[in-house]
Structure 1
Amino acid sequence: MAITEVPLRLGTRGSTLALVQARLVAGELLAEVGLESRIDVISTEGDDTATSLTSPAAPGVFVSGLRRALLAGEVDFIVHSCKDLPSGPAAGIELAALLRRGDHRDVLVSRDRLTLRELAPGAVVGTSSPRRAARMRFLRPDLEVRPIRGNVDSRLAALRQGSFDALVLAAAGLDRLGRLVEATHYFELDDLVPAPGQGCLAVECRTGDLFALERVARLDDAETRTCVLAERAILAALSASCATAVGAYARVADQRLEVVAELSDPNGRRHERFVDSCRLGNDPVRSAVELGGSIGRRLKESDLGRTLAG
């Protein structure tokens, strides 16, 4: 396809993974639309390793700086790991595209190439996610779970240096970095439900910027959007914060949307899981959002949901 028009300005964080993902989106835009992109690196609050990811101010720490630059007109569109997006809408911003989802699973990366079952009692597992931490404490209560901050490269370096015996990371991120070979154990849904939107890249544009919106929308994958919006509706209905240990995953099979969601307490001693499905009719997104909202409300009204909210 011939290259046309002035390049769009793409805003991204500056980590290795974020840049890889930005280049992936830029490549898709070039292939689909024939439009080049100029990548601009923008610092976010989440890139400061002193920032807590579970504080009340934490929602959107990897997103807010990018959104400010977008609204200020400094860039034309921004790229995120979808799981980093807050659940609610952002004024003046449109979710223009959800790219075809990669691997949704979490993986274990251990220093000695061990699986979760093979880790010795007392082994130190690093994760910054309350969801992952809660499930590790449930699956292996004899392990020590500690928080870890930083990008994937710095976390893997901490693992090699002996600060941790294992890490829990997203399979999709490792795959995009070409480091999936380092995974030693894959967590299936029975053991660990992924974060809503995990494995998916999200692209946002300014509301009213029809030039960017129309072109970026060409990258949208309809099935991924249906699934991810169901998962995000669970978050919104649950009023989940960054400290909430919640996972959600949806998939389409035989014209039906199948959804699993799980809420855990921080210690991993209690959990509530709902599995439900609906037929996808003429408006799949509406059906998906309605089902996700219903599941989220059920989680919120469950005994565990009420305990965590109280």
Structure 2
Amino acid sequence: MSLIRVGTRGSALALAQSTAIANRISTASGSEVEIIAITTHGDTSREPLSSLGGTGVFASALRESLLADDCDVVVHSFKDLPTAAYPGLRIGATPKRADARDVLCARGGLNLTTLPQGARVGTGSPRRAAQLRSLRPDLDVVDIRGNVETRLGRVAEGDLDAVVLAAAGLSRLALLDSVDGEYLELSDWPTAPGQGALALEVRDGKLDRSLAAALTAINHATSQATVLAERLVLARLEAGCAAPIGAMAAIDDGLLFLTATVYSPDGSRNVVASHAATPDSHSIAHLAEAAQDVSDRVSRDLLAGGAADFAPMKVTS
């Protein structure tokens, strides 16, 4: 393949992360790479994500372009990708995951503890909104849309006292050093399943040899397993990527750990479940088996704890 076409959303963040991936594909394959920017409904609409349906709002146009052979591989933010398989497509690689944490970006060096009562904190995420209301019910949580720079600008202009953003996105835009923010640790503030990870999606069937080799070189088995474990909980609960669910998986000392939390939208209730599994080896197949095992047990505990009673989701059998 003399040219590999990489499809991506056209936002600054999407282009930044896709350009980094395109450079890695070019290096690994020795092929020329072209970036194909694709406009999605989620990029053009100003409606809240919850009213747009959340799940797949940024993915559908990319997938349609891939199936139409307008590109050879598309780059998704995993947290925006529906969990259900898409006919004719598959995940070709999961690059090494970036920082999965959220960052509170507030005026004047304030943090989640020191924000004054009634402070206006912006987010478009139902999960982040529920977490804010759980920890600080006195805050005024404001539903917002817009790119990273727009959201940070509303804090700088004084319209908001703070916004909550993904550390990975700030890093990919080279904004971390310029933002006075508080990292929210995953143990207390679990983030969206797959946050910080990218998914490289391709068409089913045999790939061109150069693209296949590049995807194999880029794939990171540990990231693939931890993201899979988190997303399997989402799939089991059929909650969608906009649901108030946080999850954190990690591999440590030979064990695959998974903790997931489901919040009520108003933050007044939550249920937490944690389990660990022992992969037979660190092969992709054995890590996937461990991810399935641990996610099944975590999902059962969440349901037994009443998660379906207060969070908007459709539970599968």
Shared fold by TM > 0.5?
A: yes
Tell me, in whole angstroms, the C-alpha distance in 2 between the residues paired with 1:240 and 1:203.
23
Contact 2:81 2:241 in 1 (8 A): no
- The residue that corresponds to 1:215 in the other structure is 214
Q: Deviations over 1:31-89 (max 9, x none)?
A: 22222310011001110232431137331001111000001111111001111111111
Tell me, in whole angstroms, the C-alpha distance in 1 between the residues paired with 2:227 and 2:76.
14
Tell me, in whole angstroms, the C-alpha distance in 1 between the residues paired with 2:100 and 2:180.
14
- The residue that corresponds to 1:228 in the other structure is 227
Q: 1:306 aligns with which of 293, 301, 309?
A: 309
Contact 2:43 2:58 in 1 (8 A): yes
Contact 2:55 2:242 in 1 (8 A): no
Shift of the alpha carbon at 1:206? Answer: 0.5
- The residue that corresponds to 2:195 in the other structure is 198
Closer, same or farther in 2 for the Cα pair 1:156/1:209, shift >3 Å? farther
Q: Deviations over 1:278-304 (max 9, x none)?
A: 111141111112211331233234223
Q: TM-score, normalised by structure 1?
A: 0.94
Q: 2:38 aligns with which of 15, 39, 42?
A: 42
- Larger displacement relative to structure 2 (63-72 or 150-159): 150-159
Shift of the alpha carbon at 1:163? Answer: 1.8
Tell me, in whole angstroms, the C-alpha distance in 2 between the residues paired with 1:88 and 1:213.
23
Give secondary structure in 2 for the equivalent of 1:20: helix
% identity of equivalent residues: 41
- The residue that corresponds to 2:115 in the other structure is 119
- The residue that corresponds to 1:159 in the other structure is 155
Tell me, in whole angstroms, the C-alpha distance in 2 between the residues paired with 1:260 and 1:111.
32
Tell me, in whole angstroms, the C-alpha distance in 1 between the residues paired with 2:261 and 2:31.
41
Q: TM-score, normalised by structure 2?
A: 0.92
Give secondary structure in 1 for the equivalent of 2:239: coil
Contact 2:106 2:161 in 1 (8 A): yes
Contact 1:49 1:150 in 2 (8 A): no
The answer to whether residue 293 in structure 2 is matched with residue 290 in structure 1 is: yes
Can you give the 5+ residue segments of structure 1 that lack an aligned partner in the other structure?
none
Q: 1:187 aligns with which of 184, 187, 201?
A: 184
Aligned residues: 306
**Structure 2 counterpart of 1:137, which letter?**
R
Contact 1:236 1:296 in 2 (8 A): no
Aligned pairs for 1:1-310 within 5 A: 5-55=1-51, 57-181=53-177, 182-211=179-208, 212-282=211-281, 283-308=286-311, 309=313
Shift of the alpha carbon at 1:243? Answer: 4.4
Can you give the 5+ residue segments of structure 2 that lack an aligned partner in the other structure?
none
